[in-house]
Amino acid sequence: MIRIENLTKSFGEQEVLRGVSLQVNSGEFVALVGMSGSGKSLLLRHLVRLMRPDSGRVLVDGRDVGKMPRYELEALRSRVGYVFQSGALFDSINVFDNVAFPLREKTRLSETVIRQKVMEELDQVGLKDVEHKYPAELSGGMLKRVALARTLVRAPEIILFDEPTTGLDPIVVNSILNLFDSVHKRLKLTGILVSHEIPEIFGIVQKIAMLHEGVIAAVETPENIHHSQNPVIAQFVAGKPDGPIRYR
Ligand SMILES: Nc1ncnc2c1ncn2[C@@H]1O[C@H](COP(=O)(O)OP(=O)(O)O)[C@@H](O)[C@H]1O
Ligand SMILES: [Mg+2]
């Protein structure tokens, strides 16, 4: 379980996070939505201590991430799969080597076992006969699948997706979201998915949390979100220009 308690973070005069609290139960998939620049990526970075808060804390399974000794932090990071917005594959090595990279780097598995795991993972994300290709030879959707395979190959228990479908066409978006859904159900992962794919994400998450003006302004279930009384949620879901959300 992930528990974020009253997290604050400022940069100079700019207060980005002003007391964020959010709980993600084990096995739950939560969508984190909010305006661009609201601090979604920043919040995710705190979960694996790539960023430290000014105040507040993050607990993972009851342990304070900010107070973990180095070895415990490393153990936590190995349990967390982080899929960055860019996908960031290595351009100069092929798909196989990209997916094998975390295993070669962080484990002592034999090449035979690595080969088996990599091929299995590529198969799971629906990629066949691409292991010898280079990133430049793949489409946007395929690159996202490779990035997902590379994250899953280490069998994470917690997965953080930061806008994994931004910039893809609608059909590919749906195929990637379906893939997340099946991965989530198969592996019973706990996850946070930052996404602008509304309403598509509503079908694959248990809760939607909206980050607005530095706090979680609302947490709703997908069933309730369309009837939300919260004006921030209502405006965001409807994509209306007028309301409490102001463009700066
Ligand atoms: N390391 C940093 N140094 C200074 N400002 C930062 C840093 N990280 C994030 N910010 C600022 O925090 C705000 C939120 O950024 P971000 O989390 O990337 O937003 P989002 O992911 O919701 O679009 C932005 O104004 C950004 O400039
Ligand atoms: Mg971001």
Strand partners, 212: 215
Q: Structural domain tally of the chain? A: 1
Residues with CB in 5 Å of ion ligand 2: 41
**Sequential pLDDT tens for the chain (248 residues):** 999 999 999 999 999 999 999 999 999 999 999 999 999 999 999 999 999 999 999 999 999 999 999 999 999 999 999 887 666 788 999 999 999 998 999 889 999 999 999 999 999 888 889 999 999 999 888 888 899 899 888 889 999 999 888 878 888 888 888 888 988 998 899 999 998 888 889 899 999 999 999 999 999 999 888 888 888 888 888 877 788 877 65
**Tell me: the pLDDT tens digits for 85-108?**
666 788 999 999 999 998 999 889
Q: What is the CATH number of the domain that holds 231?
A: 3.40.50.300
At 42, which helix (H) or strand (E)?
helix 40-47
244 assigned to some structural domain = no
245 assigned to some structural domain = no
pLDDT of residue 86: 65
157 assigned to some structural domain = yes
Q: Tokens 């808060």 correspond to what residue?
A: 53
243 assigned to some structural domain = no
248 assigned to some structural domain = no
Please tell me the distance from the alpha carbon of residue 209 to that of residue 47, in angstroms, as a whole number.
16
Token output for 142: 């395929």
- Give the distance (Å) from ligand 2 centre to CA of residue 26: 24
User: Counting atoms of ligand 1 from 1, which one is nearest the CA of 9?
Assistant: 12
Q: In what order do the strands lie in the sheet with 207-212?
A: 80-83, 158-162, 190-194, 29-33, 207-212, 215-220
Which structural domain, as residue segments, surrounds residue 171? 2-238
137 assigned to some structural domain = yes
246 assigned to some structural domain = no
15 assigned to some structural domain = yes
User: Counting atoms of ligand 1 from 1, which one is nearest the CA of 163?
Assistant: 21
Task: Please list every protein residue whose CB sits less than 6 Å from any atom of ligand 1.
Answer: 11, 16, 34, 36-42
Cα angle 191, 166, 223; round to 5: 50
